[in-house]
Amino acid sequence: MDGTLLNDLIIIFGLSIAILFIFHKLRIPVIVGFLLTGVVASPHGLGIISGIQAVENVAEIGIIFLLFTIGVEFSLKELLNIKKLVLIGGSLQVLLTLAFVFFIAGYFGFSRGEAVFMGFLISLSSTAIVLKLLQERAELDSPQGKSSLGILIFQDIIVVAMILATPFLAGNGEFEGSFLTMAAKGFAIILLVIISSQWLVPKLLYQIARTKSRELFLFSIFFICFSIALLTERFGLSLALGAFLAGLIISESEYSHQALGNIMPFRDIFMGLFFVSIGMLLDINFLLLKPVLIIIVALCVILLKAVITGFSITLLGYPLRTAIIVGLSLAQVGEFSFILSGFGINQGVLSGDTYQLFLAVSILTMASTPLMINAAPMLAGYVLRLPVPKKLVSGLYPMPESVTKKTRLKDHLIIIGFGLNGRNVARAASVAGIPYTVIEMNPETVRMEKSKGENIYYGDATSEPVLEDANIKHARVLVLTIADPVATRRIISVSRKLTPKLHIIARTRYVQEMESLYNLGANEVIPEEFETSVEIFSRVLKKYLVPRDEIEKFVSEVQADGYEMFRFLNKELEPAKDFKLELPDIEIDTLKVKEKSAIAGKTLAGMNMRRKYGVTVLAIRRGLHTLPNPDGDETIHAGDTLIVLGLPDKISLLEGLFFNEQENDHESNN
């Protein structure tokens, strides 16, 4: 390796560690840290990096890895679950942004090709930053989380088409490229993907996986990724497109998870270098000469994207609160825009000053993303207090009267959210004969469940009118099952103000949310982390044959004191003196009788398992039926499952009879 390149890489890694550590403390995205590393180390900054071109060449591998992992993670099955958000929401956001930027850029004198390309760049948002922040806030399953994910998926897919379209925007005659030529190449690529994903790659990876060699599997994944990327470049397309196709070929195979796990560490390293190389391209002098212009353009980009994205979400029927939060969450310029801008520079679509303005604005919008996401719920709450039309607040989706008009129940249960937890609560209430009403924000879910006869209604429960429509003042219990901490706090606050006597039960994912929810007025807070711990320990106690009533007593005590046992892990706890492991050495196990086993066709009395092996048969499961406490005349059939009680070593000894064709003379050894 060139000593200069090695020296530059050491400087980059060392400087990145220092900057990323500070940014982690300040909760600023790591991508911004990498960009700043490049700015500081570049000739325009401190000038401590000399071989920028060599670093860029290494960083290009990061682009290949990023597109490859996007292809591997892309699943048609998962896409179908949020197809409306992806296809309609994503296309609306991208096309509207592209149209507005095109007209604005044209007004300021940019050529058509450059105006369209600027629309490409600004329409994309940061998948890496947004999803990471939503994951940290436990909002990926919330309406704003799913909406953001749907639009980001569409952007990640459409960027491939944007890369293909870039040479046409430049009017590059050397690109092999009439429409027919491009169509032929597209057909050839589709054919390659189908043949490779269905026949070639699965068979190759199957043979590789049989060797159980981690190194061989890893090298095979690298070979597939780089060879297809190089093949598409030879077709006159791009390395990035080839990498995406390589990931797509592997994505539908059973080896996709292993491939992704192997490639991720390499992707993170090279992607870091890619963003550092982008930062090196930013001219500090340009930044210092035009700070006002950069800030104004950045604010305009944020405002434009927030309004367009929010408008797109509103057209899908989501409430105003969700539209505002999603709009601000996706208001930054994304990492794929940097990749696309590189193609624009190479094809001559972007000029030098425009490129510098784009870099500065992009970095500024990225850095402001955490602030915008944190401020979005507060801003949405402020807007909802304004005299906004009720139709806009609750959503424009044309819901039938049967879906929006609520039955005025009394002394009832109100369930907020109809995910897995909400469905379970509703099912239990139905069995117990408790009248209930469900409030759900997803219009598709409401339509589907309403058609099944479910007592479910559409609305945003953070809004007072929606809760009043559910007759909250005459309800007895309110249960919140949604995965949105901010909305949960808002609903508890509003509900407590409307109905002081209401019993509020809230679900939360994280422990640190408990205190704030209690302070807002929740009567009970069920933390998923603690409930999981209780369930695990209950099963441990069951395995040690602790009596069921003692286990239930333990669970009740843990829940009654607000999970104090788990909340204060540094506190010394007194052992429960009446908590006895009465049979610590005894085990209950299940053994299945094979077709030709030695005991098939014999009776329990004939086997005499208790005297020969010290094992007692508690029950026999035969097909769909269970025979509890069977007597000695019961015949054992092939396919039966025996539930037995005994010492672990005795059960292991008996287990051999269930597989062997002949019975060992165990009795003579006793």
Long-range Cβ pairs for the range 420-426 (8 Å, 24+): 421/481, 421/507, 422/479, 422/481, 422/482, 425/479, 425/481, 426/454
pLDDT value of position 51: 67
Q: Residue 188 above 60 pLDDT? A: yes
Tokens linked to 333 = 């310029």
Taking the C-alpha atoms of residue 454 and residue 439, their distance in angstroms, rounded to an integer, is 11
pLDDT in tens, 85-94: 888 889 999 9
For residue 56, with 0-12 CB atoms within 10 Å meaning exposed, 13-18 middle and 19 or more buried, which class applies?
A: middle
pLDDT value of position 152: 87
> Which stretch, 29-33, 238-242, 401-405, has highest mean pLDDT?
29-33
Q: Concatenate the DSSP letters of all residues of 373-424 into one string.
A: HHHHHHHHHHHHTS---HHHHH-S----HHHHSPP--SS-EEEE--SHHHHH
pLDDT in tens, 554-567: 777 766 665 665 55
Confidence class for position 119, pLDDT limits 50, 70, 90: very high
pLDDT value of position 668: 41
pLDDT in tens, 449-458: 888 888 888 8
Confidence class for position 298, pLDDT limits 50, 70, 90: very high
**Averaged pLDDT, 206-218:** 84
pLDDT in tens, 88-112: 889 999 999 999 999 999 888 888 8
Q: Residue 78 above 70 pLDDT? A: no
**Averaged pLDDT, 401-429:** 78
Confidence class for position 667, pLDDT limits 50, 70, 90: very low
pLDDT value of position 312: 92
- More reliable by pLDDT, 126 or 50: 126
Percent of the chain with pLDDT over 90: 15
pLDDT value of position 125: 92
Q: For the CA atoms of 23, 24, 27, 33, what is the dihedral angle to 10 degrees? A: 40
- Least reliable range by pLDDT among 289-298, 300-309, 416-425: 416-425
Taking the C-alpha atoms of residue 63 and residue 52, their distance in angstroms, rounded to an integer, is 17
**Averaged pLDDT, 603-619:** 86
- More reliable by pLDDT, 330 or 189: 330
**Residue 287, φ and ψ in degrees, nearest 5:** -65, -40
**Averaged pLDDT, 274-278:** 81
**Averaged pLDDT, 514-542:** 79
Q: Residue 574 above 60 pLDDT? A: no
pLDDT value of position 311: 93
**Averaged pLDDT, 317-331:** 90
Contact 533, 552 (CB under 8 A): no
- Least reliable range by pLDDT among 49-53, 139-143, 209-213, 363-367: 49-53
Taking the C-alpha atoms of residue 168 and residue 186, their distance in angstroms, rounded to an integer, is 15
Tokens linked to 222 = 């690298």
**Averaged pLDDT, 286-290:** 85
Contact 624, 577 (CB under 8 A): no
pLDDT value of position 308: 95
Q: Residue 402 above 50 pLDDT? A: no
pLDDT value of position 186: 64
Q: Helix, strand or coil for residue 626? A: strand
**Averaged pLDDT, 621-630:** 85
* pTM (predicted TM-score): 0.66
pLDDT value of position 79: 62
Confidence class for position 136, pLDDT limits 50, 70, 90: confident
Q: Concatenate the DSSP letters of all residues of 477-543 into one string.
A: EEEE--S-HHHHHHHHHHHHHH-TT-EEEEEESSTTHHHHHHHHT-SEEEEHHHHHHHHHHHHHHHH
- Least reliable range by pLDDT among 220-234, 349-363, 396-410: 396-410
- More reliable by pLDDT, 35 or 5: 35
* Neighbour tally for 171: CB within 10 Å: 13
Tokens linked to 336 = 């794929």
Q: Residue 234 above 80 pLDDT? A: no
Rounded (5°) CA angle 159-267-46: 95
Confidence class for position 333, pLDDT limits 50, 70, 90: very high
Confidence class for position 328, pLDDT limits 50, 70, 90: very high
> Which stretch, 1-5, 259-263, 355-359, has highest mean pLDDT?
355-359
Q: Residue 439 above 80 pLDDT? A: yes
Task: Give the domains, in start order, of the chain with CATH numbers.
Answer: 3-378 (1.20.1530.20), 399-522 (3.40.50.720), 587-669 (3.30.70.1450)
pLDDT value of position 172: 57
pLDDT value of position 570: 47
Q: What is the mean pLDDT of the chain?
A: 80
**Averaged pLDDT, 640-648:** 86
- More reliable by pLDDT, 186 or 370: 370
Give the 3-state DSSP-derived string for 201-219, with helices as H, strands as E and coil as C: HHHHHHHHHHCCCHHHHHH
Confidence class for position 306, pLDDT limits 50, 70, 90: very high
Tokens linked to 483 = 């995965």
